Every structure is written in structure tokens, then in C-alpha cells.
Amino acid sequence: MVADAPGRVRAVAKAAEILGCFTPRTHVLSTRSLARITGIPRSTVHGLCLTLVDAGLLQEVPGRGYSLGLGLVALGGQVLHRHNIVEAAEGMLTPLLDEPDTWALVGQLVDGWVVYLARYMSARHGPVNSRTGLRVPAHRTACGKAALSRLEPAEVVRRVTGACESERIAAPDFAVLAAELEIARHDGHVFSADWRPGRSAIGAPLIDRDGTVIGGISIGGPSAVFGEEQRRRLSGRIGGVAARISARLPPQQEPRAVALESD
């Protein structure tokens, strides 16, 4: 249930909780399912969903329930546009894709998630599960871990815990994660094989001129591609590319999480 708080409008909090139930793996939810997940009475859920449909924030799926509405695209686009990450990364990542079956991702850190804003492919490649617009828990991705490595430990725990609760997945071993992020902060990059079986990636953080953690970039592909020599070569290059992209990022206007100093 949504907790009561002074000065808040409870109906808006409930509507936000309903919107938060949808995930990349759960595109459509019925009124019954939304009521079960949120604990909000079914009749109230029904009324809120109808209102959200009218506002364009949900859309009806006949016979199945509701999915997120196209009205969210314009709102989300305004937020993402402020950071100009894709523009800053233009032309910077494709030179790293000299291995076949590899791809590069640009991700923005949004609380405990990474949202992929752009994807670049090598000349020859197979199917790629990660796509533009996908939202994934940051602690399970290379560019997400790279970004998290530049935050204070307590902030990492808060963000990761919130994402896990929202996605209804088990939280990681935070001692293990902290050790991994400490190495990433020291090295300036991170190697990860947590997101998909048989897939690996190397990531580096994106930090603007104010020292604000914005997100990360990563080079991914089949784990077989990332032998010791390839990992060493890519690790040496991706940090430099991330630094050049970061130098292109404008400072943010609103307060955000400030990066830790690297060693």
C-alpha cells in the first residue's frame, strides 16, 4: 500500500504505484493483477486505470488489461533530452566494435536502473537482446555497475534495493557487489557477465563536468569473444572513450548524485 505522508495527494501516489508495476518483462497487466501487486482495492484500481487511459499514460489492451501509454514517451523524452548523452556519444563507440558479434550500449542511470538510449552493432552480428529503451537493474549490467561504482556505498544500496523491490527480484549480496564496485572504481571500468547467460560486457562510467554520475557505456558480446587479450585491449580503450564522451556532457541544472573521486 502507498504510505500516508503530510502534504501528499494519495490518489496520485496510487496512480504512480500502478504505473510502476509495469516492467520490460511485464507489458500487460489486468485490473486483478494490479490490485494484487499494489494492495489497492480492485474498484479503485479500475477507476485509476480509466483516468490514466484518459491522460494517455495507460492504454487498454482488449481482453487482457492495460499497458503503458504513448503519453509517457513524450514525457520521458524530455527528461532524457536534458542530458544529451546520445549526442555526446555520436561516432565514439563504433570504432571499438572491431570484433564480430559485438555491440555497444549507451545507458543512463535512472535511480536503480539503467535505461539504454542507443545501441551500435558490429558489421557482423547475431541476435542482441538489449535494445534501445530497455530498462534493466543497474547492478546486473556492465554500464550500470560502472555508474554505480562512482556513488557512495549507502546510495548504491538504496538504489539497488529499490530496483529489486520494484522488479520483485532478490537483492544481490551487497558485500560481493561492494567489492566488485570498488575494483571498478579503482580500474575505471568493470567486466560483467551477470545479465544474460553466455554474454559478457565491459563498461565504463559517464560523468559530467560537475562530477555528476550520468550513466555508462559498454561493449558486449558472446563470452567467447572476451578472452584475456580482448578484455585487456578493450579495457584500455573503453575508459578513454568514456572520458571523451563525459567531456562533451553539459553540467546538470538540478541536484543529482555526485561521483566519488577515483583512485
| Mean pLDDT of the 210-230 span | 88
Local structure of 246: helix, strand or coil = helix
In this predicted structure, the answer to whether residue 66 has a pLDDT above a threshold of 80 is yes
Count: domains in the chain: 2
Question: Which of the residue ranges 27-31, 104-108, 125-129 would you say has the lowest mean pLDDT?
Answer: 125-129
Q: Are residues 142 and 49 in the same domain?
A: no
Predicted confidence band at 43 (pLDDT cuts at 50, 70, 90)? very high
Residue where the block lists cell 502534504: 7
What does the alpha-carbon distance between residue 165 and residue 8 come to, in Å, rounded to a whole number?
Answer: 22
For 152, other C-beta atoms within 10 Å of its C-beta total 12
Asked if residue 93 belongs to a domain, the reply is: yes
pLDDT of 26:
80
pTM for the whole thing?
0.73
What is the C-alpha to C-alpha distance for residues 237 and 104, in angstroms, rounded to an integer?
13
pLDDT at 4: 62
Pair 24, 86 in one domain: no
Pair 125, 46 in one domain: no
Is 174 among the domain residues? yes
Q: How far apart are CA 117 and CA 260, in angstroms?
A: 24
Residues 149 and 118 in one domain: yes
Is residue 148 domain-shared with residue 227, that is, in the same domain? yes
One domain for residues 212 and 100:
yes
pLDDT in the model for residue 222: 86
Q: Can you give the pLDDT at residue 127?
A: 59
pLDDT of res. 255: 45
Query: Which H or E run contains 233?
Result: helix 228-248
The CATH number assigned to the domain holding 15 equals 1.10.10.10
On whether both 107 and 179 belong to a single domain, the answer is yes
Dihedral angle computed from the Cα positions of residues 46, 52, 53 and 54, in that order, rounded to the nearest 10 degrees: 110
Q: What percent of the chain has pLDDT over 70?
A: 86
Over residues 48-70, mean pLDDT:
93
Strand partners, 88: none
**Residue 261 domain-assigned (yes or no):** no
Higher pLDDT, 116 or 77: 116
End residue of a domain, out of 44, 71, 98: 71
Q: For residues 80 and 159, which has the higher predicted lDDT (pLDDT)? A: 159
pLDDT in tens, 109-158: 989 999 888 889 887 665 566 677 788 899 999 999 999 999 999 999 99
| Domain range enclosing 50 | 10-71
State the CATH number of the domain containing residue 210.
3.30.450.40
